[in-house]
Amino acid sequence: MTLDNIKVGNGGIIESIGGEGLLRRRLLDMGLTPNTRVEVRKVAPMGDPIELLIRSYVLTIRKEEASKIKLKEEI
């Protein structure tokens, strides 16, 4: 499943980061790295952007960017 399909209050562990070039590099630089826990905190009224809780800080990304992040379910 991808991060853009997760409901508010739920999350998972990042399995992989898709995309290419600068987009992928930017996501990795923001701390969205494999084996990191991420939780969806809020979604804007129109569905874009998405507010995430990751590594004890809040990060807001676009839904298009979130669709590049593949999650695995928590055990």
Nearest to 6 by CA among 24, 61, 19: 61
pLDDT digits (tens, 9 = 90+) for 5-56: 899 999 999 999 988 889 899 989 989 999 999 999 999 998 889 999 999 9
The pLDDT score that the predictor gives to residue 74 is: 63
What domains are there in the chain, each with its CATH number?
A: 3-72 (2.30.30.90)
Q: Is the pLDDT of residue 73 over 90?
A: no
Q: Read off the pLDDT band of 59 (50, 70, 90).
A: very high
As given in the structure block, the two tokens for residue 23 are 């987009």
